[in-house]
Amino acid sequence: MRASVRRTLNVFLFFLAVALAGPVPLGAGEVPLRVGTDAAYPPYVLRGPSGLAGFDVDLVEALAARLGRELVWIDRPFTNLIDALVEGEIDLIASGMSATEERARRVAFTEAYEISRSTFVVPAGWPPLCSPDDLKGRRVAVIAGTVQEVYVTTLEGLDVLSRPTTDDCFDALLSGEADATLVDRPVAVSMAGREPFVGKIALALDWEIAGSAKALALRRDDRELLEALNGALADLKAEGVLIRLRDKWMAFRL
């Protein structure tokens, strides 16, 4: 057999073997994992001097290292993340997302990695709040698409102002456009320690909202990735990594 014919045959057999082998297995590290996030929700995700940072960023990077996967972060508005996932534009959502029953009809969620209360934030100097009823007749700004938005719409007597970002909600407090905002407590603590909000806002009332456990979201048919992520997440919990990340990013005392 001539050498050129042998080379052609060997190339053909190689690609035939690759085709028969099926998809690249998890851990091979050849297919980047596209992670969608809204990088304006500190301390879960924020933009730092060297790029994205935050609790979710550190967590997903630790998980990817366990799976041997490269990451590509894609920043887009929170309200567009689930659509982008379902349509195949991203493979994973890591954006402080709560694993609600309504969302679970469209996406799959990993095991929860963090649970936090929500907090009503008001301008500094406001009288104490005993319950959400104390805000009747007031304007409450919430981030569109969040469990906080869903919750406040169930309360009577509130004027709900849906805003696209965290900054928009807190800016509304400073400008007087809103009388309060409702966000996850770690976010409230983080924003209260940042300019221009230092000394101008107060954490008035913590409140429990059902279905607020944080989890990573992925497509419902991506079962292999789900199992791999849950396994790696269990390892990180057992090794104390999640506790260290909370100590690093979650300042619960203020």
Supply the CATH number for residue 198's domain. 3.40.190.10
pLDDT of residue 25: 42
pLDDT in tens, 83-113: 999 999 999 999 999 999 999 999 999 999 9
252 burial class (0-12, 13-18, 19+ CB within 10 angstroms)? exposed
pLDDT of residue 29: 45
User: Domain span at residue 172?
Assistant: 118-207
Are residues 106 and 232 located together in one domain of the fold? yes
- Take residue 27 and report the two structure tokens written for it: 């851990």
CA angle 65, 189, 64 (to 5 degrees): 5
Measure the CA–CA gap between 104 and 95, rounded to whole angstroms: 16
Amino acid sitting at position 246: R
pLDDT of residue 28: 45
Q: Please list the residues that pair with 139 across neighbouring strands.
A: 159
Contact 73, 120 (CB under 8 A): no
Measure the CA–CA gap between 238 and 221, rounded to whole angstroms: 27
Q: List alpha helices for the chain, DSSP H.
A: 3-21, 55-67, 81-86, 101-104, 147-152, 166-175, 185-192, 223-238, 241-249
Q: What is the overall mean pLDDT for the chain?
A: 88
Least-confidence region, from 13-22, 150-159, 173-182: 13-22
Are residues 76 and 35 located together in one domain of the fold? yes
pLDDT of residue 194: 92
Whether 4 is covered by a domain: the verdict is no
Which of 75 and 250 is assigned the larger pLDDT? Answer: 75
How many domains, in total, are found in the chain? 2
Least-confidence region, from 24-28, 86-90, 181-185: 24-28
Give backbone dihedrals phi and psi of 2, rounded to 5 degrees, phi first: -65, 150
